[in-house]
């Protein structure tokens, strides 16, 4: 369903600018050490989501399914779920099975938490895997909500209190493996041991191997998740979740862990928020290397500012990513003319205004948008560039405008998992990609074919 | 073999280890991480390439968005099939029913795109909340004046094969609704070819050079009007037997049209298929033209094939694809390239398919139905293969282990059918197997003897 302040409302959705909640949950579960994501639903949900994730990450992505048939649909899927858990345990020897529901099992009213409790009692999981379930009906929310719901469910199920340790919790949101590596390194540079949830920096971006690992190596250790209740602080990186019952807020309420909500650290200013929080938590100044990195990013902004100034951009994707990118665009002088997302958190417009107060005019905001609506707006707006994932390619092609590929999914280029968005280095990289896209576009459409800027 | 769940033991066979038996056509085992999809997927892949129809997925957003423009099914005209339409049901619709959403979405989209027909795919939830999809379709069809056809593709109602059946049933509601005047007695329908990378155009070209008219491509580069006239063809050629054999049977039952199962992969199967068509029409002109087509086409590619064969002889391959019929052709095509198949399997094969594979393959070959990543990875390591042929979900298993991979899925951008397709296939196999990158991967680097042998 499309809706926005500007466009006509349509009942149908064409080329959605969102994915379903179970996908987000699977992505989050895949960043836990020894974990197997498990979808309680039909076989297709698991297979489609695997395909979609594999096409971006180019890594094995096993998602189990309770493989619903007619009888499970009529009589309930408890037996399928339990058999599935048995089989996954036998084959993968996982440390954790993350069970996400689907539209089907929510609609028939399967009580998955009860099944899981029964299973745990019947089979006795002493030494067996932790089983965490999350409710992710595909008819409510997007993959972003599914992702955060799964993170919260894992924290709710596993985190324990205790004496406050030295470590800090990182809740990075839906970012790339390269982003996750950057955040871990940044925490380490402040001398802060971290527990990052989820951490698919290696599980979904691993090396070539001689022996196949049933579950890819890496991921947040279970022990680390258990210790999240006694961390010295949580750094929660999201915009639209602020004020909601997030995993970070849960840790604060249940265990008194201070929660620093900093937004996605995209662009210099949003990264400054993250680093200010790291300084406060660690009691140390930003390490010299990062000050240099910040300085270089600003130096690059200066070198290239003319090429991007006043360029008009359409930004689309998950709400958090779009808000972060809008902040970056505003600080480099690009004018976002349309910020669009399939998400409908209700906070999109207000958070965009908050992160980009200097914009000369407010961009059009499209919540719950699909690509039909974005394409229509693009025809009118005639932007100079598009910033978003691969699925906007058709619009960019039609407009003959460059598409700067960011976020997820990147299905038409290699290396989506290695794109860096966050931190000073991410700001630097994004700026160069945007500026070079503008330069390349001008060079390509020039009749002269000059080789000098 | 520690990787096979006990409940799946009868879905794996090793040639020579015991007399041939194979259990298949079973629902996937819960928790086994099947590579299969669902009923919806089966229906969606069959109907997807009909380019002037509206394909509306009725349900929450996932099913529609994961099937948006994911196939390489080309159209020579309209591109409507490449858009992803959904009723994008929300909680409110689940509670109060999705019929209004369906009616409004259909009406809106038909007005916007003026399609020649609309297919409405019912997804899991629809089967539970009890929407009367049939009634809504009938109502909109009457108002819009085009066929609006429900496809009963709720994911849980069986396997992908049941989705094929639902798609064929949907097609039968369009077949027979247009005039067949002027169709040649020497005419065929091409069934089960989806025009990936333009493959239907290659096959049509051969048939037209033979003097055979093609009435309808079902469904590659498909058009509603062609499907509506399909009952006028003299013969149905069925490729990818799993997906459209039902349609061929329905056409035979209702209109008496005979059908032949064919394969366009590999020189042998391609030539045999054309000769079968010629034999069916038993017309001297067609027979002579067919021989000429085969001769010209084979002459054009054979010298290059032999070059590739020199490099590839003795290499070992593994195959895991959707349909077993394709697997059979691939075993033959690989043999032409001098390669052995040491593992072959499919998501949806039947006992006859697997028996044929068993006869075709060498001793020791593993034959497997409805496999999963752990089995496949363990077979790959055990059999030391040089090449794995499969789809998107199999690719990372091969790559992670440093094994060459050839994509035989529906996203492909190079045609693999026909004689020219065999050359493309050989080129891709060659590039996959002979790339120097494998020498750097840990699996090969830890096998110095073998690496040395390959240097020579």
Tell which of B65, B87, B378 to mutate to test the A interface (max A CBs under 10 Å). Answer: B65
Stated as kind and residue range, the H or E segment containing B134 is: helix B133-144
Angstrom distance (rounded) from CA A209 to CA A57: 16
Domains, in order of start, for chain B = 39-158 (3.40.50.1980), 187-293 (3.40.50.1980), 301-455 (3.40.50.1980)
Instruction: Share the mean pLDDT of chain A.
Output: 95
Q: Which residues pair with B149 in a beta bridge?
A: B119
How far apart, in whole angstroms, are the C-alpha atoms of residue A6 and residue B217?
43
Paired strand residues for B367: B13, B344
The minimal CB distance from B155 to the residues A42, A90, A108 is found for A42
Res B25: pLDDT = 79
Task: Please give the Cα distance from A195 to A188 (Å, whole number).
Answer: 11
Strand partners, B190: B217, B237
d(CA A296, CA A287): 14
| Sign of the alpha-carbon dihedral angle for B283, B288, B293, B294 | positive
Say which DSSP state A346 is in: S
Look-up of token digits 């059999």: B383
Q: With an 8 Å Cβ cutoff, are B31 and A59 in contact?
A: no
Residue A270 has pLDDT above 70, yes or no: yes
On chain B, the residues whose CB falls within 8 A of the CB of A102 are 124
User: Of residues B205 and A70, which shows the higher confidence score?
Assistant: B205
Q: Quick check: B31 and A91 CB within 8 A?
A: yes
> Rounded distance, CA A232 to CA A116, Å?
32
Burial of A354 (0-12, 13-18, 19+ CB in 10 A): middle
Q: Give the residue on A whose Cα is nearest the Cα of B85.
A: A14
Residue with tokens 């201070």: A258
* Among the listed residues A245, A21, A27, the one whose alpha carbon sits nearest the alpha carbon of residue A145: A21
Query: What letter would DSSP give residue A124?
Result: I
Tell me the count of A-B CB pairs closer than 8 A.
242
- Helix (H) or strand (E) holding B293, with range, is helix B284-312
B187-193 sheet: strands from edge to edge: B213-219, B187-193, B235-238, B259-261
Predicted local distance difference test score (pLDDT) of residue B453? 54
* Dihedral sign computed on CA atoms, order A330, A333, A335, A340: negative
pLDDT confidence tier of residue A363, bands split at 50, 70 and 90 = very high
Closest-CA residue to B387 (of B425, B442, B349, B440)? B425
- Rounded to a whole number of angstroms, the distance from the CA of A98 to the nearest CA of chain B is 12
Could you check whether the bond before residue B27 is cis, i.e. omega within 30 degrees of 0? Answer: no
Give the residue from A242, A291, A252, A247 showing the smallest Cα distance to A268: A291
Enter the tokens of residue B69.
Answer: 């423009």
Q: Is B247 within 8 Å of B171 (Cβ atoms)?
A: yes
Tell me the C-alpha distance between B32 and A193, whole Å.
Answer: 37
Structure-derived torsion over alpha carbons of residues A375, A377, A382, A384, reported in degrees to the nearest 10: -70
Peptide bond into A437 cis (omega under 30): no
Buried/exposed B56-78: b ≥16 CB within 10 Å, e otherwise: bbbbbbbbbbbbbbbbbbbbeeb
Sheet with B148-151: strands ordered across? A13-14, B85-86, B53-58, B117-122, B148-151
Residue B88: how many CA atoms within 13 Å on its side-chain side?
26
Q: Which chain A residues are Cβ-neighbours of B57 within 8 angstroms?
A: none
Helices (H) and strands (E) in chain A, counts: 17, 14
Question: Cα–Cα distances in Å, from A414 out to A230, A410, B68?
Answer: 40, 8, 20
Residue B69: DSSP 8-state: S
> Which percentage of chain A shows pLDDT scores above 90?
89
**DSSP string for residues in B212-247:** -EEEEEEETTB-HHHHHTGGG-SEEEE-SHHHHHHH
pTM above threshold 0.90: yes
Instruction: Measure Cα distances from A433 to A174, A427, B3, B107 in Å.
Output: 21, 10, 45, 43
Query: Cβ(B167)–Cβ(B43) under 8 Å?
Result: yes
- In the prediction, which pLDDT does B7 show? 84
Walking along chain B (456 residues) 10 residues at a time, the average pLDDT comes out as: 75 86 82 85 95 98 94 95 97 95 98 98 95 98 98 92 95 97 97 95 98 97 98 94 91 98 94 98 98 98 97 96 88 95 91 90 91 90 91 90 88 91 96 94 72 50
pLDDT at A6: 44
Mean pLDDT of A423-444: 97
At A26, list the tokens: 């699977």
User: What ipTM was estimated for this complex?
Assistant: 0.95
Q: Say yes or no to pLDDT of A243 above 60.
A: yes
The two tokens of residue B72 are: 């390489």
Closest CA–CA distance from residue A52 to any residue of chain B (Å): 7
Interface test with A, best of B26, B33, B412 (most A CBs within 10 A): B33
For residues A418 and A177, the answer to whether their CB atoms sit within 8 Å is: yes
Question: A10, A12, A21, A36: which to substitute to probe chain B, counting the most B Cβ within 10 Å?
Answer: A12
Q: What pLDDT shows up at residue B447?
A: 65
Q: Which residues from chain B sit within 8 angstroms of residue A61, using beta carbons?
A: 396
Q: How far apart are the first and last CA of chain B?
A: 34
Distance CA B85, CA B151 (A): 15
DSSP secondary structure of B142-164: HHHTS-EEEE---TTSS-HHHHH
Q: Distance, in angstroms, between A54 CA and closest chain B CA? A: 7
What's the CA gap between B245 and B254, in Å, rounded?
A: 14
**Domains located in chain A, CATH noted:** 21-158 (3.40.50.1980), 168-282 (3.40.50.1980), 288-445 (3.40.50.1980)
Q: Determine the pLDDT at residue A3.
A: 40
Is the pLDDT assigned to residue A7 strictly greater than 70? no
pLDDT of residue B242: 76
Mean local confidence (pLDDT), A259-276 = 98
Instruction: Tell me whether residue A300 is exposed, middle or buried, using C-beta atoms within 10 angstroms of its C-beta: 0 to 12, 13 to 18, 19 or more.
Output: middle
- For residues A210-236, give the mean pLDDT: 96
Contact B199, B193 (CB under 8 A): yes
Q: Which pLDDT score, from 0 to 100, does residue A242 have?
A: 79
Supply the pLDDT for residue B1: 44
Q: How far is CA A131 from CA A81, A134, A217, B157, B423, in A?
A: 12, 10, 19, 28, 50
The candidate with the shortest Cα–Cα distance to B186, out of B205, B210, B218, is B210
Helix (H, G, I), strand (E, B) or coil at A443: helix
Separation CA B311–CA B435 (nearest Å): 12
CB contact set of B164 (below 8 Å; sequence gap of 6+): B42, B43, B46, B242, B243, B244, B246
Instruction: In whole angstroms, give the CA distance from residue B301 to residue A65.
Output: 45
């Amino acid at each position: 369903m499309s809706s926005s302040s500007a466009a006509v409302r349509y009942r149908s959705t064409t080329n959605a600018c969102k994915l379903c909640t179970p996908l987000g949950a699977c992505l989050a579960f895949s960043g836990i050490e020894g974990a197997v994501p498990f979808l309680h639903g039909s076989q297709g949900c698991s297979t489609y989501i695997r395909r979609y994730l594999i096409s971006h990450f180019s890594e094995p992505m096993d998602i189990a399914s309770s493989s619903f048939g007619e009888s499970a649909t009529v009589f309930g899927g408890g037996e399928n779920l339990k058999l599935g858990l048995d089989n996954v345990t036998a084959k993968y020897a996982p440390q954790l099975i993350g069970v996400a529901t689907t539209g089907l099992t929510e609609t028939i009213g399967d009580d998955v938490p009860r099944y899981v409790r029964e299973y745990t009692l019947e089979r006795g999981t002493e030494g067996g895997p932790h089983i965490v379930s999350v409710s992710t009906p595909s008819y409510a929310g997007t993959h972003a909500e599914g992702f955060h719901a799964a993170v919260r469910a894992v924290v709710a199920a596993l985190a324990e209190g205790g004496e406050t340790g030295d470590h800090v919790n990182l809740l990075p949101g839906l970012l790339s493996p390269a982003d996750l590596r950057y955040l871990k390194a940044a925490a380490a540079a402040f001398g802060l041991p971290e527990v990052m949830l989820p951490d698919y920096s290696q599980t979904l971006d691993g090396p070539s191997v001689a022996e196949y690992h049933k579950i890819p190596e890496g991921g947040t250790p279970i022990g680390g998740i258990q210790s999240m209740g006694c961390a010295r602080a949580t750094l929660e990186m999201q915009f639209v979740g602020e004020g909601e019952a997030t995993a970070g807020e849960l840790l604060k309420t249940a265990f008194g862990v201070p929660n620093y909500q900093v937004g996605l650290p995209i662009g210099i200013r949003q990264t400054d928020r993250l680093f200010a929080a790291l300084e406060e938590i660690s009691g140390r100044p930003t390490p010299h290397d990062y000050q240099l990195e910040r300085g270089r990013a600003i130096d690059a902004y200066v070198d290239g500012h003319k090429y991007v100034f006043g360029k008009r951009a359409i930004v689309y994707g998950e709400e958090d990513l779009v808000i972060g990118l809008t902040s970056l665009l505003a600080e480099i002088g690009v004018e976002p003319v349309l910020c669009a997302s399939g998400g409908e958190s209700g906070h999109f417009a207000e958070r965009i205004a908050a992160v980009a107060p200097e914009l000369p005019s407010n961009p059009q905001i499209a919540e719950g948008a699909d690509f039909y609506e974005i394409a229509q707006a693009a025809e009118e707006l005639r932007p100079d560039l598009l910033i978003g994932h691969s699925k906007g390619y058709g619009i960019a092609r039609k407009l003959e405008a460059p598409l700067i590929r960011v976020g997820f999914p990147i299905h038409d280029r290699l290396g989506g998992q290695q794109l860096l968005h966050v931190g000073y280095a991410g700001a630097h990289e994004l700026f160069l990609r945007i500026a070079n896209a503008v330069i390349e576009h001008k060079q390509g459409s020039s009749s002269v074919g000059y080789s000098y800027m | 073999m520690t990787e096979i769940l006990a409940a799946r033991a009868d879905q794996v066979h090793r040639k020579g280890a015991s007399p041939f038996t194979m259990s298949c056509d079973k629902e996937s085992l819960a928790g086994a991480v099947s590579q299969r999809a669902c009923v919806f997927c089966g229906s969606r892949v069959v109907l997807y390439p009909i380019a002037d129809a509206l394909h509306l997925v009725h349900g929450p957003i996932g099913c529609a968005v994961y099937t948006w423009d994911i196939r390489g099914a080309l159209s020579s005209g309209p591109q409507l099939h490449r858009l992803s339409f959904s009723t994008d049901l929300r909680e409110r619709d689940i509670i109060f029913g999705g019929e209004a959403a369906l009616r409004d979405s259909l009406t809106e989209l038909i007005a916007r795109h003026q399609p020649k027909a609309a297919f409405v795919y019912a997804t899991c939830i629809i089967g539970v909340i009890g929407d009367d999809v049939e009634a809504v379709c009938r109502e909109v069809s009457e108002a819009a004046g085009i066929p609006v056809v429900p496809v009963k593709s709720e994911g849980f109602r069986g396997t992908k094969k049941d989705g094929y059946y639902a798609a064929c049933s949907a097609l039968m509601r369009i077949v027979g609704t247009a005039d067949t005047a002027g169709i040649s007695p020497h005419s065929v329908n091409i069934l089960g070819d989806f025009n990936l990378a333009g493959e239907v155009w290659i096959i049509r070209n051969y048939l037209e050079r033979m003097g055979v008219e093609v009435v309808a491509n079902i469904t590659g580069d498909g058009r509603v009007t062609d499907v509506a006239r399909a009952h006028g063809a003299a013969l149905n050629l069925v490729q990818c037997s799993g997906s459209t054999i039902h349609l061929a049977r329905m056409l035979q039952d209702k209109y008496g049209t005979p059908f032949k199962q064919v394969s366009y992969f590999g020189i042998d199967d391609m030539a045999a298929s054309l000769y079968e068509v010629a034999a069916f029409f038993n017309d001297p002109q067609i027979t002579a033209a067919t021989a000429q087509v085969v001769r010209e086409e084979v002459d054009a590619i054979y010298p290059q094939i032999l070059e590739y064969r020199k490099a590839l002889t003795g290499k070992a391959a593994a195959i895991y694809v959707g349909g077993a019929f394709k697997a059979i052709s691939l075993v033959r095509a690989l043999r032409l390239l001098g390669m052995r198949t040491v593992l072959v399997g499919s998501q949806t094969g039947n006992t006859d398919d697997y028996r044929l594979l068993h006869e075709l393959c060498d001793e020791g070959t593993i034959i497997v139905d409805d496999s999963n990543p752990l089995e496949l990875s363990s077979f790959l390591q055990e059999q030391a293969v040089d090449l794995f042929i499969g789809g998107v979900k199999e690719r990372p298993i091969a790559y992670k282990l440093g094994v060459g991979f050839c994509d035989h899925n529906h996203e492909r951008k190079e045609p693999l059918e026909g004689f020219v397709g065999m050359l493309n296939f050989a080129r891709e196999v060659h590039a996959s197997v002979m790339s120097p990158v494998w020498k750097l991967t840990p699996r090969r680097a830890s096998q110095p003897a073998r690496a040395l042998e390959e240097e020579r």
